[in-house]
Chains A and B, each alone.
Chain A
Amino acid sequence: GNSVTQMEGPVTLSEEAFLTINCTYTATGYPSLFWYVQYPGEGLQLLLKATKADDKGSNKGFEATYRKETTSFHLEKGSVQVSDSAVYFCALTRTSNTGKLIFGQGTTLQVKP
């Protein structure tokens, strides 16, 4: 079946540090891949997405590249800020299904000043 695996958190970094949150997936066919972010007390928000192999999604300084050969979609940011502290979810959806998202467990990021 389809599934998403994320690195376990929490991840604690100092401000301006480099961030990587690993995400790998298992899916038949050609999924679309997403990163969602949940800031404290708020709903989930789409951060970025990629719909085909080798696509790079980017937003707010975050990037992730759809790697079909390694079935990965790792999230990176060159210099994190305290305001990036949140829970990050990797997700996939299949074009042939209803469009429902399959989420990873979530990774909590805490950035300290």
Chain B
Amino acid sequence: GAGVSQSPSNKVTEKGKDVELRCDPISGHTALYWYRQSLGQGLEFLIYFQGNSAPDKSGLPSDRFSAERTGGSVSTLTIQRTQQEDSAVYLCASSLGREQVYGYTFGSGTRLTVV
């Protein structure tokens, strides 16, 4: 597609439930990033995928968070047993390669509210 697509745009879930957030990157972009934007916290790096390499998971805040990228394209971020502190906007970005050379394109995000 023309841009990075994320779904759903909004998600309200009960504490303790699992949620899946989806990201469709720009076709041909090999790099994909997930960030979390919390009120007053700025943007926090979560995970990075580059082609067929092992993902950089160093930003995942706990083992309740996981992500996969199937076929080098669509990515799913899964949060298990959601907690109220997981409430945030989850942003996905894709790139042809490293940001300083190619630049990122961000999606509009999924706003997750845990009640």
> Hey, which bits of chain A sit against chain B, CB under 8 A?
32, 34, 41-46, 49, 51, 89, 91, 93, 95, 98-106
Q: How far is the CB of A10 from chain B (nearest CB, A)?
A: 12
Q: How far is the CA of A99 from the CA of B106 in the complex (A)?
A: 15
- Give the Cβ gap from A38 to chain B, nearest Cβ, in Å: 9
Nearest A residue to B40, CB-CB: A105
Q: Tell me if B97 and A102 are in contact (CB < 8 A).
A: no
- Given the known inter-chain contacts A43-B4, A100-B56, A101-B45, please indicate yes or no for A93 contacting B106, CB distance below 8 A: no
Minimum CB distance partner of A50 in chain B: B100
- Name, among A44, A89, A95, A101, the residue most crowded by chain B CB atoms within 10 Å (CB to CB): A44
Q: What is the chain A residue whose CB lies nearest that of B100?
A: A32
* Nearest chain B residue, comparing its CB with the CB of A34: B99
* Inter-chain contacts of B56 with A (CB < 8 A): 98, 100
Chain B residues, CB < 8 A from A99: 31, 48, 95, 97-100
Q: How far is the CA of A22 from the CA of B108 in the complex (A)?
A: 26
**Cβ-closest chain A residue relative to B109:** A43
Chain B hits for A101, CB < 8 A: 33, 35, 43, 45, 99, 104
**A49 x B100 contact (CB < 8 A):** yes
Closest to B53 in A: A98
Indicate whether B79 reaches chain A with its CB closer than 8 angstroms: no
CB distance from B55 to the nearest CB of A (A): 10
By CB atoms of chain B within 10 A, which of A34, A43, A91 has the most?
A43
Q: CB-CB < 8 A to B100: which residues of A? A: 32, 49, 51, 93, 95, 99
Contacts A32-B100, A89-B42, A100-B33 given; does A45 touch B50 at CB 8 Å: no
